[in-house]
Every structure is written in structure tokens, then in C-alpha cells.
Amino acid sequence: MRRSQNAFTLIELLVVVAIIAILTAILFPVFAQAREKARSTSCLSNTKQLGTAAQMYVQDYDEKLFFRASNATPSISRSGAIVPTTFQPPVLWWNALSPYTKNRQILVCSSDTAPTLSKDLDGKLTVKRSYIAIRAAEALALAQLEKPTEIIIFTDKWDKSAGPNPSAISDSWIEPMSGDFNYYPTYRRMAIAGDRHMEGTNCTFFDGHAKWMKAGAIGASKELTGCSLINSYPIADMCDKGNLGCANIGTPDDTDPNHSIPDANICNTFDW
């Protein structure tokens, strides 16, 4: 009597291995995308909390935003803004918001493999950070904004340094550069928005809401009152409805160092 054979043949084993390989190739990207979606959702929650903290801050400080600041340069306010700390220099936006966030973890995106090490209130590099704030928000009053629902204040950070002095990168703010955070991706001393979330970035707007945006769509977000910040470090950089749409962009005003005469060729010509 012949004994029955229960073992797989070589061909059957090869077929099974091939099927497993095909399923792996199909499913692994799906799993990776699902994991990134979860990280993106967590990051979006962070940016939403930052927006809420900023709203709480402006309510406590005469509806004015915090100083702009960088790791490289002290924050000096020309407009007498109030900040909730006496530590000078520098006053950094993440420290200004710390009484409202009460949690440093929301400053770190789980998709950011190398968050920037930043200064705490004691000036020590202990704060890990994945986000940047728009430079033009220095002491800006909410009443100066025409469309706060369309202007980005925080976004994911991606530093790009070029030129002979890469250590000089200043990564605490967004440099809009003509309305597009990625307009000059190799510009030295510049921090721009990162597209780490499925070719997009999580953005917080001046009214406090947050959403994911495709990297190419960021340039369509509104600049402050329609003005384009065309210089890398303009003397002052906010737009004001009461001054033909722009303040401190254009020809310097010798009678007032905090003011520039608007240039008709610059102001009110951009609508990103």
C-alpha cells in the first residue's frame, strides 16, 4: 500500500513565496501610508493647539502677536509689543506661547526625524521644535489683518541652507518670499515650509484653524493684506490696512525709523 505524500512540491512552495512577495509589495506601501497619515493627523493636532495658544496669547496682550525671533538674532521690537517674559535676549515665539501650551511635545512633529534644538527661557538649547512662525507677525495686531482665515502663521519646518555660511541659518520664522514659502529653496539664512506629510504641510492660520495643504498650494495663501515681502530681511515687515495696505515696505521715512513710505510698485500688487 503506497503512503500518501502530504509535503508541498517545490513548485507549490515557489508559488506561495511569489504570492507572499506580491502581497508584501502591495500592502507595505499601504501600511506606510497609513502610518504617515496617523503621524500627519498628530502633527495637525499640534498645529491646531499652537493656533489656539496664539489666540489665547493675543487676548491677554492687547490683541497683538508675539515678537518674531531667531536662534541667531535677539528679538527687538520696534512697536512696543508686550510679551509674557522678561528674558532678553531673545524672546522666542515657542517660549511666549509656553504658558498656554504647557506641553513641549506639541512642538515636535512625529514625522520630523531631526527637530531643531532651540533655546528655552533660560537660553539653554533644550527645546525640540518642528515648526516655524511667520516672520511678519512681529507685534502685529489682529485688527491689521484683512483676511486672517487665509494667512498662515505656523507651518512645518524644513531648513535649507546654502552659500558660504550655512551655520548662519535662522530657522525660527517663515520667509514668505513673494508669497511662496518654497520660492527660493536654496536661499541662505532662510527657513521654509517642509512638505514631510505626503508632499504637503500642516499649516495654522491667523484665525486659529489648521489644515493640511499641498506644498504647491501654499503660494496661493494670502500674504499680509496682499503685500509681498520681496526682501530677505526688510526693516519692518507687516502690512497695515491704514497705510495703503503696507507698512514699512518701500522708501525709508527719515522722520520715523519705524515707518517707510509705501512703494506703489510693491504694495497692493500681489494677491497670493
Among candidate residues 174, 135, 178, 175, the one with its CA nearest the CA of residue 155: 174
Burial class (CB in 10 A: 0-12, 13-18, 19+), 178: middle
Strand segments (E) across 70-122:
116-119
The structural domains of the chain, with segments of one domain joined by +, span 10-222
Are 244 and 199 in contact by the 8 Å Cβ rule? The answer is no
Which residue did the predictor score with more confidence, 68 or 120? 120
- Model confidence at 119, in pLDDT bands (50, 70, 90)? confident
pLDDT for the residue numbered 24: 82
The C-alpha cell of 110 is what? 512625529
Lowest mean pLDDT among 47-61, 84-98, 161-175, 207-221: 161-175
> Rounded to an integer, what distance in angstroms lies between the CA atom of residue 102 and that of residue 44?
18
Helices (H), the chain: 10-60, 93-96, 98-101
pLDDT at 14 over 70: yes
- pTM, two decimals, is 0.60
φ, ψ of residue 202 to 5 degrees: the values are -90, 130
For the stretch 68-95, pLDDT in tens is 444 333 333 333 343 443 444 446 788 8
